[in-house]
Structure 1
Amino acid sequence: MPLGTLERSAPPFFKQGPSALSRLAVYSALAVFLMVADARFQITDPFRQVVGTVLYPVQWLMLKPVELAHHGAGYFQSLQVAQQELDAARKSMTTMGQRAHQAEQLALENGRLRQLLALRDRLDTPAQAAEVIYDTADPYTRRVVIDRGQIGGVVPGSPVMDEAGVLGQVTRVFPLVSEVTLVVDRDQAIPVLNVRTGARGVAYGDPVAGHDGGMELRFMPANADVREGDLLTTSGVDGLYPSGLPVARVVRVERRADSAFARVYCMPLAQVQGVRHVVVLQPLAENSLPRPEPEHPAPAKRGGRKG
């Protein structure tokens, strides 16, 4: 290529425009002008409105993740607070329920204790209050252990009652505790009297009858005048139980043609299951008056041989 055909000017890469200082001065002057014009004449308000309208969807989309994160954190925090309040409310309800149950139990025990105190005041026989500690571990017997023993003046054979009736009889006595055989035990028997008819009989424990056990009035003739609802009390002929103490109530009478005796089922009036407070009576044999001695005892005869 001939040299005359080449351009004599510098290529665009090496062209130089306004200097940086000149551009700074121009842009600064333009900025000052725009600020003054906007402050005086608000010439940029339409432009701002257009830009704000165009950028609003972008801003809305950019703020959504932030709002979701904020609402999510608030939701989980509120859920945690609600769960904590629910747990606190449940604990409070449980505590209040326990207190209400304890209050009901205390009121029931107070009522039973008042009835026991009134019963002890009505009885002529010396009596003392006791508390049931636990049931015996023998599954074939119905016995409980009370917190009174020889030190407290309890003797074998002492009748034991609750506020409703005869509960059982002391069969073993230790220095600090005593064992009481309940009236529903299979080996326990108590002489009773039918209040309506005045007929005497013997009631035996029947642990199989009913859920908590019952009693059976045995050896009653088939034609005996016994009805459902008859009240049975102690007859006092055994020398241990004072007469007139409520024992049981007749619940069913079975008469069979092939048997000479009727089967009389009774339900004890005392609380044989779950009783806590009882009264221990002194047996009649211990409470009986001593026999008076003769005023002039007969002189002793002297024996001897006649010599």
Structure 2
Amino acid sequence: MPLDSLDRSTPAFFRQGLSSTLKLILLGALSIGLMFADHRLQMSQPIRAALSMALMPLQWASLLPGRLVDATGQYFQGVESAQDAQLKYQALTISQAQRLQRVEQLEAENTLLRELLSLQAQHPTNSKVCEILYGVQDPYSEKLIINKGSLAGLQAGSAVIDAQGVVGQVTRTYPMRSEVTLLIDRSQHISIMNARTGVRYVAQGLPNSMGGALELQYVPTNADDQKDDLLVTSGIDGVFPAGLHVGRISMVDRKVNSSFARVLAYPASERKGRHVLVISPASKEARS
């Protein structure tokens, strides 16, 4: 190859432009100029707005998992808070219902006590208000135990009444307790009078009839006794004062082949309260 055909220019590897220091100075000046122009003229604001709009879906997608986690946690926290609030509300409702029941019970007891006190005012010297402690668990008798006995002046044979009428009779006394046999006990007999007709009878307890009833003894078939007639104490037995409510006639069965009618009555006393009034026998009061 002829020598004059060779390329004698400097290779690109050995070519050098501006020095690195000069490039740094120029680029630094350009950066300062651009920053100054952007600060003064807001040249990059449209570019930033466009980039912000373009990157918004990406930002929303990147934040979505965290938001879902937060929303799930808030949901379960809200469910737990709602359950706790429901339990507290139920407990409060039950507590308020119990308080309301106690208030209603106290109001009923106060009403019955007022009625007993009004009855006691009619027998100021020979009556005492007593509390029912419990009922005797005996399938063959109907009895109660009250909280006063012989030390309080109670004596066997005393009448026991409540606001509705006759409950029974004191049949046994102890120093601090007394036993009351209910009017519906089979061993109990009481002299009564039909308040409408004025006819007197003797009633016996029937514990197994109508949940506890009274049967009038030896009632003639032609007697003028009707359903719902009021029966009161006659006072001639010397035990119960006259005029106390005993019950109302619930059934009159006049049989053709019998000389006596079968007359049943339900007792006036329902023993709703915890207190009763004990009245000393009328005969002993008269002797005193």
C-alpha change, 1:119 and 1:75, in structure 2 (3 Å) is same
For the 8 Å contact 2:169–2:182, the answer to whether it is kept is yes
Are residues 1:189 and 2:189 paired?
A: yes
For residue 205 of structure 2, what is the amino acid of its counterpart? G
Match of 1:219 in 2: 218
- Per the TM alignment, residue 210 of structure 1 is displaced from its structure 2 partner at its CA by 2.6
The 1:219–1:27 alpha-carbon spacing in structure 2 relative to 1, beyond 3 Å, is: farther
Higher alpha-carbon deviation: 103-112 or 164-173: 103-112
Would the aligned equivalents of 1:146 and 1:178 in 2 still touch at CA under 8 Å? Answer: yes
Deviation at 1:265, TM superposition (A): 1.3
Q: How far apart, in 2, do the equivalents of 1:150 and 1:26 lie?
A: 124
Map 1:212-291; keep pairs closer than 5 Å.
213-272=212-271, 274-289=272-287
Structure 1 equivalent of residue 174 of structure 2: 174
Is 2:165 the counterpart of 1:165? yes
Structure 2 unaligned residues grouped into runs of 5+: 1-10
**What residue identity is the alignment partner of 1:236?**
G
TM-score by length of 1: 0.80
Looking at structure 2, the residues matched to 42 and 217 of structure 1 have their Cα atoms a distance apart, in angstroms, of 115
Corresponding residue for residue 302 of structure 1: none
Asked if structure 2 preserves the Cα contact closer than 8 Å seen for 1:125 and 1:281, the reply is no
CA distance in 1, matches of 2:141, 2:25: 114
Tell me what 1:293 maps to. none
Note if contact 2:206-2:214 (Cα within 8 Å) is conserved in structure 1. Answer: yes
User: How far apart, CA to CA, are the structure 1 residues paired with 2:126 and 2:279?
Assistant: 6
Deviation at 1:139, TM superposition (A): 3.3
Question: What residue is the counterpart of 2:7 in the other structure?
Answer: none
Whether contact under 8 Å (1:165, 1:247) holds in the other structure is: yes
Matching residue of 1:304: none
Shift of 1:152: 0.8
Specify the SS of the correspondent of 2:205: strand
In the alignment, what sits opposite 1:78? 78
Structure 1 25/77 Cα, relative in aligned 2: closer, same or farther at 3 Å? farther
Distance in 1 (CA, whole Å) between partners of 2:204 and 2:191 is: 9
Larger CA deviation: 39-48 vs 150-159: 39-48
**Which SS does the other structure have where 1:98 is aligned?**
helix
Deviation at 1:31, TM superposition (A): 4.0
Change (3 A) 1:198 1:40: same
What corresponds to 1:61 in structure 2?
61
Q: Between the two proteins, what is the percent identity of the paired residues?
A: 40
Task: Give 1:80 shift.
Answer: 3.1
In structure 2, the CA distance between the partners of 1:37 and 1:253, relative to structure 1 (3 Å rule), is: same
Deviation at 1:171, TM superposition (A): 1.5
Match of 2:113 in 1: 113
Matched AA of 1:190? I
Deviation, 1:162, is: 0.2
Q: Which range is displaced more, 121-130 or 181-190? A: 121-130
Name which of structure 1's ranges 161-170 and 232-241 shifts more when overlaid on structure 2.
Answer: 232-241
Determine the C-alpha separation between the residues in 1 that align with 2:21 and 2:258: 136
Corresponding position of 2:98: 98
| Deviation of the 1:124 alpha carbon | 6.9
- The whole-number CA distance in structure 2 between the counterparts of 1:133 and 1:169 is 16
**What number of residue pairs does the alignment pair up?**
276
CA distance in structure 2 between the partners assigned to 1:54 and 1:136 by the alignment:
91
Is the CA contact 1:125–1:282 (under 8 Å) kept in the aligned structure 2? no
Over residues 145-177 of structure 1, what are the superposed CA-to-partner deviations in whole Å (9 max), with x where a residue is unaligned?
111111111111111000111100112211111
**Cα–Cα, structure 1 residues 251 and 35, in superposed 2: closer, same or farther, change >3 Å?**
same
Deviations 1:59-84 (A, max 9, x none): 11111222222223333333333333
Given that residues 123 and 279 in structure 2 are in contact (C-alpha distance below 8 angstroms), is that contact kept between their aligned partners in structure 1? no
Per the alignment, residue 89 of structure 1 pairs with 89
- Letter in structure 1 aligned against 2:275: H
Give how far 1:281 is off.
Answer: 0.6
Alignment partner, residue 6 of structure 2: none
Which whole-Å CA distance do the structure 1 matches of 2:250 and 2:125 have between them?
A: 30
CA 1:125–1:224 in structure 2 vs 1: closer, same or farther (change >3 Å)?
farther
| In structure 2, distance between residues paired with 1:67 and 1:271 | 68
Question: What value does the CA root-mean-square deviation take over the aligned residues?
Answer: 2.8
State the 1:22 CA deviation.
8.1
SS of structure 2 residue aligned to 1:180? strand
